Structure 1
Amino acid sequence: MHRTRSSHCDTSHPRRALPILLACLSALALLSSASIEAGAQAVAADTRYERVVASPDGIGKRYMGREIAGVMGWQGAQWLERESRAHEERPELLLRELALAPGMTVADIGAGTGYYTWQLAKKVGPGGRVYAVDVQPEMIGMLDSQMAKRGVRNVVSVLGSETTVKLPPASVDLAIMVDVYHELAYPAEVLDSIVSALKPGGRVVFVEYRAEDPAVAIKPLHKMSETQVRREATAHGLKWERSIRSLPIQHAIVFRKP
């Protein structure tokens, strides 16, 4: 007589049937419980966001009252390296305010072509390190080329994802996002991963075009107000430390991990 045999649960022998059946049922219960938990986590994550009709520069997704802006693709990389950028943004003013020291570990989140990366690397010196994180492989390629061209050796490029910066826990003294945060498709998840990567007492800096200033000629979804930044950052347990308002068209809001 032909018997159908399961590769995991053989209940054909009468003496072994009951304990094996119970073991199989227990395993199924554990799998079901894990699936339910994973499903609950996914639902919880989804409730952080609200779906809306997309505006011309948005992705149709709201987080804490603001529509998330569409990301600038690698095809627009030349804009990041435009000659006028140094005059428009005065990066040296920002770097001076950050009080970076030799030997520090810094994360440049959304590093793009590395416009700020090499300047951060210079500040932390040979004994320091800069993690340059981006989600676009093409941008990582351009960044690596820029660092090689400039002879910068203390930069580690990291291909992140839409939901995580992929950095080791408690490894970073300061994380900075320059004109990046407003474009994150999953800001809550990414910010959670940044907080995890910060050392206790580490800082995270949001640099955004000032939404409060109508004279800043940037599309509305690509600007953020200080109030909005503070609302979102403090929701992740970060403590506001100071706001830098001396930049020409941006502001930098600094938070610290307790």
Structure 2
Amino acid sequence: MTDRKTTLLALALLALASACGGPSTAGDRAAAEAGLYTEQAPSRDGIGRVYMGREISHVMGHRGAGWLERPAREQQERTDLLIARLPLEADDIVADIGAGTGYFSIPIAERVPRGTVLAVDIQAEMLAIIEERQQNGAPANIETVLGSVIDPNLPRNGVDLILLVDAYHEFSHPYEMGTAMVDALRPGGKLVLIEYRAEAPGVPIKPLHKMSERQAIDEMRAIGLRHVRTEDFLPQQHFMVFEKTVDGR
């Protein structure tokens, strides 16, 4: 059985267990989840953990903060267009997961003056950068949130839009993080996934730091999100919009 088919079977078993009240013990849950991931010898840029046929990449640490803020980024990636095209209302609650230095959190906060941006990261050093920027004039409607590798620590049914920019492919536990994100979205809430296009070999990014549209749709479907549209107005990345259906499925 292929890795993807094995994962889909494990996901189906987890869904069935949840519908029946869930596994009775932590051991049962661990056994049920064991089929979600397979392990292999790590490649140069990966951690050796495979999910739905994709090896998960290493995380870029806080020492790479300068790369996130590089002067050429806006022109190379047209981040200005990305921010402008986000489906936002002025009072939205937005979660920027993998917020890093606040590169997106800060301009998004300006677009939701009556709302809040929850800047989520698993590295306290990154959140400290955002908090320092707030002390120097960045918007006050940003709240930093320390997440974990399995949970972004967001309020249940409390978020209108989740933004993931070049971060999802680094999640060591994409299924657990994914289901936690879906729980945080309000019915009808959107998840915008930005990833470098794996279909474009000319994009100068390491292969494990790219995702194909098909792979992304399959992984988002596995956690219950509906694919709304993919826009390719960005020069290097997919702009993919997913939705939590009204019935929460």
| Runs of 5+ unmatched residues, structure 1 | 1-33
Distance 1:139 1:128 in 2: 22
1:178 pairs with one of 162, 165, 184: 165
Question: SS at the partner of 2:25?
Answer: helix
Residues 1:71 and 2:59 aligned together: yes
Q: What is the identity percentage for the equivalent residue pairs of Structure 1 and Structure 2? A: 47
Q: Deviations over 1:110-159 (max 9, x none)?
A: 0000000001101111x110000000111111121123323310000000
Measured after TM superposition, the shift of residue 101 of structure 1 is 1.6
Letter of the 1:146 partner, please give it: R
Residues 1:85 and 2:73 aligned together: yes
TM-score (norm 1): 0.84
Letter of the 1:96 partner, please give it: A
Question: SS at the partner of 2:153?
Answer: coil
The list of structure 1 runs, each at least 4 consecutive aligned residues, that deviate by more than 6 angstroms after superposition, is none
Would you say the 8 A contact 2:83–2:104 is kept in 1?
A: no
Distance 1:45 1:118 in 2: 37
Distance 2:168 2:68 in 1: 16
Residues 1:134 and 2:114 aligned together: no
Letter of the 1:118 partner, please give it: I
Distance 2:144 2:176 in 1: 20
Distance 1:119 1:136 in 2: 21
Question: SS at the partner of 1:228?
Answer: helix
Distance 1:248 1:118 in 2: 22
Give the structure 1 partner of residue 188 of structure 2: 201
Letter of the 2:39 partner, please give it: R
Question: SS at the partner of 1:168?
Answer: coil
TM-score (norm 2): 0.87
1:233 pairs with one of 220, 226, 232: 220
Letter of the 1:192 partner, please give it: T
Give the structure 1 partner of residue 144 of structure 2: 157
Give the structure 2 partner of residue 188 of structure 1: 175
Give the structure 2 partner of residue 44 of structure 1: 32
Letter of the 1:166 partner, please give it: N
Measured after TM superposition, the shift of residue 47 of structure 1 is 1.6
Give the structure 2 partner of residue 147 of structure 1: 134
Q: Which of structures 1 and 2 has the bigger CA Rg?
A: 1
Letter of the 1:121 partner, please give it: A
Residues 1:59 and 2:38 aligned together: no
Give the structure 2 partner of residue 20 of structure 1: none
Measured after TM superposition, the shift of residue 38 of structure 1 is 1.1
| Runs of 5+ unmatched residues, structure 2 | 1-21
Q: How many residues align?
A: 224
